[in-house]
Chains A and B, each alone.
Chain A
Amino acid sequence: MNTLITTLFLGTTRGAVFALVALGLVLVWRGAGIVNFAQMGQAMFSTYVASTLIIKGYGYWFAFLIALVVGAILGAIVDLAVMRPLTRRSHAGILASESMRATVPVIASLGILGVLQSLAGMIWAAEERGFPTPVSDVAVKAFGKTAPFTKFDLFIIVVVALTLVVTTLFFKKTGMGLAMRATALNPEVARLSGIRISRVRTLSWAISGVASSLAGLLITPSANLSPNTLDLILIVGFTAAVVGGLDSLPGSVVGGFILGLLIAVINVYVSPDDVFLALLVFLLLVLILKPGGLFASKKVRNV
C-alpha cells in the first residue's frame, strides 16, 4: 500500500515535468507546424548555464531565472536563424513538394540538437554534474511519520500548476494569446486580420523554450547533467504530446501525467529496464488504435 502511494506521487511529479515538455512541443507544432527535436537540447543548454552560474557562486533563483531567459532566447534564435529562412517563400523552388516543406525543418531541428550537444560538450567538457534543488529533496516528515513525497516534489507540482494556469490565462484572456491561437488555427485568416504571424511564431518558439528549460531545471536534479541527459525526456514528452493528440494543449498536459504514472508503475512493479520498451509499445498502440490521440473527438471543421 505504501509503495503504491509513493509510486503515485513519483508518477505525478514526473508527469508534471513531462507535461511541460509536451506543452513545449505542442506550442511549436501548433504555431509553426514543426516537431522540434532540438527542444530538450535547448533545455540542456540552459540548464548547463544555470549550473555554471551556481558553481560560480550565484544563487539558485538567479540561475533559475537566467536559465528561463536563455531558454526563451534560444527558442527565438532557432526560429529566426534556422526555421524562418528555411521556410521562406524564395526557397519554394528547393523545397518543391509539400512533404519536403514539412520534413526539412524537422531534420533541421535534429541538426540543431546535434550542434547544441556538441557545443555543450566543448564548453562544459561533457563532464557529468549534479544539479541542486532549491528546497530539500528528502522525504517530508510530519507527525512522526514519513510522507511519500519531498519538499522538492511539492515545489515541482506548484511550479508546473502555476505555469499551466498562467499559460491558460495568457491564451484565453490576452490579445497576444488570441493572436497565437488564430495563427495556429488559420494563418491566412490571421494575416488578413493584420496579425503579424512570423512574430507570433517566434513568440511560440520562445515560450516553448521557456517551458522546456523549466522542465530541464526540474528534472535534472534527479539525474545527472550531461549533454545527453534529456534525450530520453524528449522521447517521453513526445509520446505524451502524441497521446494528448499533438494539437491540443490541455491534451498534452494530461498526456504528460498519464506517461508519468505509467512509467512510475512500470519502474516499481515491473522493472526499470522495461520502461523504455513499455514507452515505445504504448506509443505504438496509441498510434495504431487512436492516431488522433486518446482524446480525439469529432472536430469542428473549417469548411
Chain B
Amino acid sequence: MLEIRSVVASYGSVVALKDISFTAEIGKITTVIGANGAGKSTLLRLISGLEVATSGAIHWQGESLLGKSPESIVRMGVAHVPEGHAVIAPLTVAENIEMGALFRRRSNKDDVKLAIGEVYELFPRLEERKNQLAGTLSGGERQMLAISRALVSRPSLLLLDEPSLGLAPLVVEQIIETIKALCISTGLTVLLVEQNANTALSVADHGVLLSLGSVVADQPAPLMRADSALRSAYLGY
C-alpha cells in the first residue's frame, strides 16, 4: 500500500501541497486528477525523491520514502515516468531502455534481458526502432519508451505523470490499456496523474481529486465519474 500522510510541500513561499492524505492500494490504478497547478506533479516528485517535503510521511509497503534519494527509491521498486515523455533524445531507443535497468545489470543479468524482451513485446514498435535515436520518435512512441524505461527496473509501484499530454486519443487509449493489462497480469500498482480526468477515471479503480493543493474528493473512480456536481465544480465539464 502507498500511504501519503499529512504531506505538506512548498516552493519558497508558495505552498504547493497543503496537508495531503490518501492511500493507493496494491495492484490497483489510483488516479490523481485536478486542474493545472493543483499540485499533482509535485506529489509524484515527492514520492520519487526529486523534491523534499516540508512535513508529513510517505510509505510504500511499510517503508518510508521521504528523505531518500531518487536513486535509492528506484531500488525500492518505485519507478517514476515524469511529465513530457521524458526520454533522452540523443540516445538510441535501446539505450534508453537499457538505462532503466543499469542499476541491476550485474545482480540480475538474466532478468534484465527478460524484462527488456517483455517491454519490446508490449510495444513492438519500439523494437522496430531500437537503433533509432529517441529524438526521432513520435510523441506516442516517446511515451511508450519512457514507460518502458521505467518498467525494466521491475517496479512494484509505477508513477505516471500526464501520459496523455499532447497525444492523440487513440494513442492514449492504447497506452492506458497496456498499463491496465499490466496491472491485472502482474499486480503492478499505478499512481496515475492526469489532467484528462475522463480518460483517467475510465481506467482507474480509485480517484483522488486535488484542488489548489488539497484533497477535495477521495472515492472509487466510477463514483467520482458519475458525480456531475463534483465534475462541474472542479473539472469544468
Chain A contacts to B: CB under 8 angstroms: 175, 178-179, 181-182, 185-186, 188-197, 299-303
Contact = CB atoms under 8 A, between A and B. Distances in A.
Contact of B98 (A178, A185, A191): A178
Contacts of B70: 191-192
17 contacts: A175-B98, A178-B95, A181-B95, A185-B88, A185-B89, A185-B90, A186-B88, A190-B99, A191-B71, A192-B74, A192-B79, A192-B80, A194-B71, A195-B71, A196-B71, A197-B71, A302-B87
* Secondary structure of the A contact surface, majority rule: helix
Interface stretch (B100-108, B123-131, B199-207): B100-108
A174 to B, nearest CB: 10
A233 B89 CA distance: 34
B82 interface: yes
Contact of B102 (A179, A300, A301, A303): A179
Please list the 5 inter-chain residue pairs (A to B) with the smallest Cβ-Cβ separation, ordered nearest first. A300-B135, A194-B103, A194-B74, A191-B70, A300-B89
B136 interface: yes
A185 B103 contact: no
A301 B85 CA distance: 12
Contacts of A179: 99, 102
A296 B42 CA distance: 36
B135 A189 contact: no
B174 interface: no
B50 A303 contact: no
Contacts of A175: 98, 102, 105
Contacts of B150: 192
Contacts of B95: 178, 181
B103 A195 contact: yes
B28 interface: no
B79 to A, nearest CB: 7
B67 to A, nearest CB: 12
A189 B86 contact: yes
Contact of A194 (B86, B136, B153): B153
